[in-house]
Amino acid sequence: MEFGTGKGKGVKIFSYIVLALFALCCIIPLLNIIMISFTDSSSIDTYGYSLFPKVLTLEAYELLFENPTTIVDAYGVTLFVTIVGTFLAVLIGVQFAYGLSRKNYVLRNQSSFYLYFTMLFSGGTVPIYILVTQYLGLKNSLWALILPYIVTPYNIFLIRTFIQGLPDTVFEAAKIDGAGEYTILYKMVYPMCKGGIATVTLFYLLSFWNAWYPCLLYINKSKLYTLQYMLHVLMGKIETLNMEVANGMAVNYFQQLPEDSLRMATCLVAIGPLIVAFPFFQKYFVRGIAVGAVKG
């Protein structure tokens, strides 16, 4: 696309400025967290939060890793849930999407509706909780953070759209060669839909990594807390304690609470891997959104 040259320049500059400002808005909150986590707590007290702290210190991180079991445990749990969850989700999701995309599959429309209906209708938190804890016995099990969440209809429809985008001739040729459906899926569709699958993988990674609500529901052992849930708990602790003091009985119950910088350090540690992993997926991701979007 070529635009008129004369006025185009002004528009380009304008675009750069606006986009740069927006990009800045997206990044500053992260920088805030990074900087505060390195700020000396007395400096926070005097000057407040600042992007350019007067005194830099590693204190918060030293504190954080002084007794690393909690954070290491939380990392382990989060990694396990994220990796296993994503793997299973992508494995079964792509298979299902493949089935949905096969025009000759007799249950195609029914399956589509079968899955779609769950996007609209749910039994509510309590019935699911009863099922997971009492019938499946998954309370305080990491599987409770994985199994109920490995099917996301939106993602499956996204992959379906990708697979539908492949030329039919590919499948026909494979059929003539006598390839079974599994062979077609794993030998041909996977390599051809790399971008789409990478996109959806990233979606799943994100949702498993960022989830704190399942942990609130199913986990009450601190050893099995996920990182996000740990952050959530850190945030709520103060209010809780005040409530106990007010309701009377917390006298002589003193608990050290984290300084601001420590809290932000924990936050950063929790989102760190995402920031690192993101650029690897970015290439596929942008393309993935593009393809998914064309067909809604």
Partner 1 sequence: MENAEKASAGTKGTTKKRKFPKILHKDQLELFSMMFPVYLQVFIFCYIPMAGAVVAFKRYKVSKGIFGSPWCGLDNFKFFFKSMDAGRVIRNTLGYNTVFIILGIICAVFVAVLLSMIRSRKSLKFFQTTMLFPHFMSWVVVAYMLVTFLDYKHGMVNSFLVKLGLEKISWYYEPKYWPFFLVAIYLWKTIGYNSLVYYSSIINVDSTLYESGAIDGCNTWQTIRHIMLPMIKPTIIIMAILAVGNIFRADFGLFYTVPQNSGTLISVTDVVDTYVYRMMFVTGDIGIAGAVGLIQSLVGLILVSVVNYLAKRVDKDLGLF
Partner 2 sequence: MKKALVLILVLAMCLGLVACSSSVDTTNTTDTTSDAATATADNASSSETQKTEADAPKEIVTLSWYFMGDDTEANDDVYDAANELLERDLGIHVEFHPIAPGDYEQQIKLVINSGEDYDICWASNWRNNYMQNVNNEAFLALDEYLEDCPDLVAAIPESLWECSKVNGTIYGVTCQQIVARSTSVAVPVDYVELFDGTVDVDNVTSYADLTDYIAAIGAEHPAEVICELDWQDFVYVYGIEAILGTKIPGAVSLVDDKITVFNQFDTDAWREVVRTRREWMEAGYTMPGKAEVGTTTDKQYERPLEISTYIPGYENDTMQGTNNFMVTQRQISDAYVTTGGVTATMMCVNVNSTHPAEAVKFLEYLNTSSELMNLLTFGIEGRDYERTADGKVQRLEDRQYNQSGWRLGNTFVLDLEATQSDEGITAVAALNASAKASKIAGFTPDTTNIQLEMTNCQSVVEEYYDLLNEGLTADTDKVVDEMNAKLETAGVKTIIDELQSQINAWLAEK
Q: Which stretch binds partner 1 (CB under 8 A): 52-60, 62-70, 242-250, 263-271?
A: 263-271
Extract the tokens encoding 48: 């407040």
CB of 212 to partner 1, least distance (A): 6
Q: Report which DSSP code applies to 166.
A: S
Which of 221, 295, 275, 233 has its CA nearest to residue 258?
Answer: 233
- Looking at beta carbons only, is 175 or 283 nearer to partner 2? 175
User: Mask 64-103, x = binds partner 1 (CB under 8 A)?
Assistant: ---------------------------xxx-xx-xxx-x-
Residues 244-263 within binding reach of partner 2 (CB under 8 A): 244-260, 263
For residue 208, the tally of other CB atoms under 10 A from its CB is 25
Residue 56 pairs in a beta bridge with 39
Per CB under 8 A, 168 contacts partner 1? no
Per CB under 8 A, 3 contacts partner 1? yes
Residue from 4, 167, 191, 248 touching partner 1 (CB under 8 A): that is: 4
**Considering CB distances under 5 to 8 angstroms, the limit depending on partner class, which of partner 2, partner 1, none binds residue 279?**
partner 1
Q: Which stretch binds partner 1 (CB under 8 A): 6-14, 57-65, 187-195, 246-254?
A: 6-14
Residue from 109, 110, 240, 282 touching partner 2 (CB under 8 A): that is: 240
Per CB under 8 A, 187 contacts partner 2? no
Q: Report which DSSP code applies to 74.
A: H
Question: Measuring CA to CA, how many Å separate 67 from each of 24, 64, 80, 90?
Answer: 35, 7, 21, 36
CA 90 to mean position of chain CA atoms: 14
What is the Cα–Cα distance from 37 to 34, expressed in whole angstroms?
A: 5
- In this structure, what are the phi and psi dihedrals at residue 268, rounded to the nearest 5 degrees? -65, -40
What is the Cα–Cα distance from 56 to 157, expressed in whole angstroms?
A: 48
Residues 113-132 within binding reach of partner 2 (CB under 8 A): 125-126, 129-130
- In this structure, what are the phi and psi dihedrals at residue 150, rounded to the nearest 5 degrees? -85, -5
Per CB under 8 A, 208 contacts partner 1? no
Per CB under 8 A, 106 contacts partner 1? yes
Largest distance between two CA atoms of the chain: 79
Q: What is the helix (H) or strand (E) element at residue 42, kind and residue range?
A: helix 41-47
What is the Cα–Cα distance from 59 to 51, expressed in whole angstroms?
A: 17
**Considering CB distances under 5 to 8 angstroms, the limit depending on partner class, which of partner 2, partner 1, none binds residue 8?**
partner 1
Q: Which stretch binds partner 2 (CB under 8 A): 48-56, 104-112, 138-146, 285-293?
A: 138-146
Q: Which stretch binds partner 1 (CB under 8 A): 19-27, 60-68, 79-87, 248-256?
A: 19-27
Residues at the contact surface with partner 2, assessed by CB under 8 A: 88, 125-126, 129-130, 133-134, 136-138, 140-143, 147, 180, 182, 216-217, 220-224, 233, 235-260, 263
